[in-house]
């Protein structure tokens, strides 16, 4: 177990790992409390192409490993356990985890986000039996089969391209009139011979007994209901913040995102937030790294002003 840290960093994604690296390089004793699978959402990304300074594409898992190595080399320590709560107490903040309680005068929460579910009939029942939330993980299981991808953003478009390497046909369904993914990605998707886009539609039910056999869709323009036969459904309809541990400690907006200022400070002194869980985050990988660095610098400044001289 680590000694008494100056700053506790909760989370294992790029924001948390960057915060740990910068905090340790600033001379702070930094302890990261995170799941054993370090990397967060990028572990589900087959190829990262939008991160500065990388001349060649890299897998999300490899990028996470590199950033973790940087944090360790800088001197950050790691506790692998589930963070359950954070509250004022002790020397500043107490993080309760499955591995025990840890205290520090400053804390950075970078617990990221989770994939939002469709919330339709059949989704939970068929999860793992044709319903998936990771194209790079499960795409090969649908070789030669017809599948549906729900969502129109960057994640949905990227994963549709990954799944199309294996599936016989990929139907991309989006509520909007146009896909909202990056223009270059949309161009690749629309030019793919095995991908078709169905705009202004949404799934209302996932069909099947032991496995997915189809999806009931609603046409948002006409109100018509139709059934599409597919054997797999990949869901990428947005994110929800992992901010439950901050409830009652820092101010959250109605959607559950934590409010911060430009220095990542929350409404609680000495408590900072970085990455996708922030209200104003663009939710891009490069911004997560920037948030983490900013939060670490802010924590260092906070401690410099609050420590006895």
pLDDT value of residue 125: 97
Determine what percent of the chain is predicted with pLDDT higher than 90. Answer: 84
**What's the pLDDT at 308?**
57
Residue in this structure with the two tokens 């970085």, named with its chain if needed: 274
Does residue 128 carry a pLDDT above 70?
yes
Least confident piece of the model among 170-174, 228-232, 281-285: 281-285
Question: Which pLDDT tens digit goes with each residue over 54-111?
Answer: 888 899 899 999 999 999 999 999 999 999 999 999 889 999 999 999 999 999 999 9
What is the reported pLDDT for 307?
A: 67
* pLDDT tens-digit readout, 219-260: 999 999 999 999 999 999 988 999 999 999 999 999 999 999
Residue 82's beta-bridge partner residues? Answer: none
Q: How far apart are CA 21 and CA 32, in angstroms?
A: 10
- What is the distance between the alpha carbons of residues 57 and 281, in angstroms, rounded to a whole number? 24
The mean predicted confidence, pLDDT, of the chain is 94
At 257 the pLDDT is 96
The pLDDT value recorded for residue 48 is: 85
Helix crossing, 60-74 with 14-25: angle to 10°? 20
Q: Are 157 and 172 in contact (CB under 8 A)?
A: yes
In the 8-state DSSP scheme, what is residue 239? E
Per-residue pLDDT reduced to its tens digit, 30-41: 999 999 889 988
At 126 the pLDDT is: 97
Domains (range + CATH), the chain: 7-115+239-306 (3.50.50.60), 131-235 (3.50.50.60)
| Per-range mean pLDDT, top range of 44-48, 55-59, 210-214 | 210-214
pTM recorded for the entire structure: 0.84
The pLDDT, as a whole number, for residue 31 is 98
pLDDT attached to residue 50: 78
What H or E segment, with its residue span, contains residue 160? helix 154-163
pLDDT at 3 over 80: no
């Amino acid at each position: 177990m680590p000694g008494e840290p100056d700053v506790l960093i909760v989370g294992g994604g790029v924001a948390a790992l960057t915060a740990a690296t910068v905090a340790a390089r600033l001379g702070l004793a930094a302890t990261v409390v995170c799941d054993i699978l370090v990397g967060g959402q990028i572990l589900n990304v087959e190829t990262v192409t939008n991160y500065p300074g990388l001349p060649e594409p890299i897998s999300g898992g490899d990028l996470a490993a590199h950033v973790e190595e940087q944090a360790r080399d800088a001197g950050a320590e790691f506790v692998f356990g589930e963070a359950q709560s954070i509250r004022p107490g002790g020397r500043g903040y107490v993080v309760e985890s499955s591995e025990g309680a840890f205290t520090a005068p400053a804390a950075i929460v970078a617990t990221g986000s989770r994939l939002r579910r469709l919330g339709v009939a059949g989704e939970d029942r068929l999860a793992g039996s044709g319903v998936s939330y990771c194209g790079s993980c499960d795409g090969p299981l649908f070789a030669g089969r017809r599948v549906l991808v729900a969502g129109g953003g960057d994640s949905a478009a990227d994963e549709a391209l990954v799944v199309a390497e294996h599936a016989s046909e990929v139907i991309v369904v989006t509520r909007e009139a146009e896909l909202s993914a990056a223009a270059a990605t949309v161009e690749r998707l629309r030019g793919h011979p095995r991908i078709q886009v169905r705009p202004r539609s949404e799934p209302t039910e996932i069909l099947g007994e032991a496995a997915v056999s189809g999806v009931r869709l609603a046409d948002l323009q006409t109100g018509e209901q139709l059934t599409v036969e597919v054997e797999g459904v990949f869901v990428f309809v947005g994110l929800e913040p992992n901010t439950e541990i901050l409830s009652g400690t820092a101010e959250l907006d109605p959607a559950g995102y934590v409010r911060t200022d430009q220095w990542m400070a929350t409404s609680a002194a000495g408590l900072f937030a970085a990455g996708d869980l922030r209200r104003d985050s663009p939710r891009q990988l490069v911004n997560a790294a920037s948030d983490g660095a900013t939060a670490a610098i802010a924590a260092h400044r906070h401690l410099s002003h609050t420590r006895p001289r």
